[in-house]
């Protein structure tokens, strides 16, 4: 049986640096969360408008454990060849955490508002942790090579959900009372549609990581992924507000979510795409024009969001999603076998 080595020569400089970046971010997040829970144990419950626990020390102990995981991730970032057991245990915890959260929410002990906790603590790490654990396997290679097609499929499904499921609760409906009523009457469809958009954002980052492996400079590939990762954080924050808070205070919260996802996140995704386009010398002719048409659509969506043009947001989103899903498939077919 072959033992997989997690070192730079085997996986390549780009993937090694990408994993180190991911584990470094995981370390920073865990340490920051742990310190927050230990030093200000009641603030989490205040933020999500919950009754504080009777014994705050339990929450502080949980914060201490999370923080210690951060130290392990930092070690894994510095020694990829020894990171596999650390990442495997962390991955298991990040799968079990949401399962426990579902049970707690189902029993009405915690509200849906706390969805942001498992989204940022656990779910967003499934993809990079899982792919790292698959390093050196044929299945892992297939998953990485399928990134453009996964992205196209998931985003096409998310666009369909926006058109047929979510639109009744969005700003396309001018009356806030009607939007709130739609969300109240369709809570599972509403939340399921936005969870699908969570997956769409994660698949975009996966696609950018795939694309970044095909440019000459690993620095610019990593930089584009970091920019897109910041956009993803903004995107997921907005969607967690939609999932967990609406229709409560819809007039106040929905505009914040729209700005975060349509303005900040989309703007950063577009910037990351522009960086990769400029640094990727293989785009030519009609495919290059197609690529720039996508980023122009992204710029229009960002501008429409910032200036509050609902019509502009609708048109630019429709144009963007129409262009980007088939484009990703073409990118996969054209450049999937490039050396990387």
Residue 163's pLDDT is 93
| pLDDT tens track for 154-166 | 999 999 999 999 9
Choice between 54 and 218, residue whose per-residue pLDDT is larger: 218
**Cβ count near 328 (within 10 Å):** 25
Residue 217's pLDDT is 85
| pLDDT tens track for 237-262 | 999 999 999 998 899 999 999 999 99
Nearest residue to 273 (alpha-carbon basis) of 233, 220, 312: 220
The structure tokens listed for 231 are: 């956009």
Q: What is the mean pLDDT of the segment spanning 88-106?
A: 95
Distance of CA 175 to the CA centre of its chain: 30
Question: What one-character-per-residue DSSP string does 73-87 give?
Answer: HHHHHH-GGG-HHHH
B/e letters for 27-50, b = 16+ CB within 10 Å, e = fewer, are bebbbebbeebbeebeebeeebee
Please name the residue that has the structure tokens 């997690």: 6
- Residue 9, pLDDT above cutoff 90: no
**Nearby residues of 47 by Cβ (< 8 Å), 6 or more positions away:** none
Q: What is the mean pLDDT of the segment spanning 66-78?
A: 95
- Residue 19, pLDDT above cutoff 60: yes
- Residue 210, pLDDT above cutoff 80: yes
How many whole angstroms separate alpha carbon 204 and alpha carbon 255?
Answer: 24
CB-count burial class (<10 Å; 0-12, 13-18, 19+) for 329: middle
How much of the chain exceeds pLDDT 90, in percent?
Answer: 89
> pTM surpassing 0.95?
no
| pLDDT tens track for 294-304 | 999 999 999 99
| pLDDT tens track for 130-149 | 999 999 899 999 999 999 99
For 34, 86, 134, 191, the CA distances from 139, given in Å and listed in that order, are: 34, 21, 7, 31
Residue 7's pLDDT is 53
How many whole angstroms separate alpha carbon 231 and alpha carbon 131?
Answer: 21
Please name the residue that has the structure tokens 């205070």: 249
Helix axes 285-306, 310-335, angle to 10 degrees: 150
| pLDDT tens track for 275-316 | 999 999 999 999 999 999 999 999 999 999 999 999 999 999
Question: Taking a C-beta distance cutoff of 8 angstroms, is the pair 81, 6 a contact?
Answer: yes
Nearest residue to 69 (alpha-carbon basis) of 97, 47, 102, 44: 97
How many whole angstroms separate alpha carbon 38 and alpha carbon 58?
Answer: 10
The structure tokens listed for 213 are: 């492996």
Question: Taking a C-beta distance cutoff of 8 angstroms, is the pair 242, 115 a contact?
Answer: no
How many whole angstroms separate alpha carbon 164 and alpha carbon 141?
Answer: 35
Question: Mean pLDDT of all residues in the chain?
Answer: 93
**Backbone CA torsion sign across 310, 316, 320, 321:** positive
Question: Taking a C-beta distance cutoff of 8 angstroms, is the pair 113, 52 a contact?
Answer: no
Residue 3's pLDDT is 41
Question: pLDDT-derived band of residue 2, with 50, 70 and 90 as boundaries?
Answer: very low
């Amino acid at each position: 049986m072959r033992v997989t080595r997690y070192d730079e020569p085997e996986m390549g400089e780009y993937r090694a640096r990408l994993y180190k970046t991911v584990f470094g971010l995981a370390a920073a997040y865990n340490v920051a969360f742990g310190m927050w829970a230990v030093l200000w144990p009641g603030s989490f419950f205040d933020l999500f408008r919950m009754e504080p626990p009777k014994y705050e020390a339990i929450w502080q102990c949980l914060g201490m454990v999370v923080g210690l995981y951060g130290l392990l991730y930092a070690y894994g970032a510095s020694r990829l060849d020894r990171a596999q057991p650390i990442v495997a245990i962390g991955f298991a915890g990040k799968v079990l955490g949401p399962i426990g959260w579902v049970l707690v929410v189902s029993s009405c002990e915690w509200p849906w508002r706390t969805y942001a906790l498992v989204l940022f603590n656990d779910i967003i790490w499934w993809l990079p942790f899982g792919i790292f654990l698959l390093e050196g396997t044929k299945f892992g290679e297939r998953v990485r090579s399928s990134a453009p097609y996964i992205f196209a499929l998931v985003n096409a499904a998310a666009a369909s959900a926006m058109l047929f499921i979510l639109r009744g609760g969005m700003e396309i409906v001018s009356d806030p009372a009607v939007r709130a009523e739609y969300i109240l009457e369709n809570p599972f469809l509403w939340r399921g549609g936005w969870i699908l958009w969570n997956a769409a954002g994660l698949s975009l980052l996966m696609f950018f990581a795939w694309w970044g492996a095909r440019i000459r400079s690993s620095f610019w590939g990593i930089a584009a992924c970091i920019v897109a990762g910041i956009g993803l954080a903004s995107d997921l924050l907005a969607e967690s507000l939609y999932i967990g808070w609406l229709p409560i205070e819809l007039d106040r919260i929905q505009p914040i979510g729209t700005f975060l996802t349509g303005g900040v996140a989309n703007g950063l995704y577009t910037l990351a795409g522009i960086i990769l386009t400029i640094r990727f010398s293989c785009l030519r002719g009609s495919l290059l024009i197609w690529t720039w048409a996508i980023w122009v659509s992204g710029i229009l969506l960002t501008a429409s969001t910032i200036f509050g043009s609902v019509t502009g947001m609708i048109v630019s989103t429709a144009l963007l999603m129409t262009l980007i899903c088939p484009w990703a498939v073409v990118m996969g077919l054209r450049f999937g076998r490039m050396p990387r």
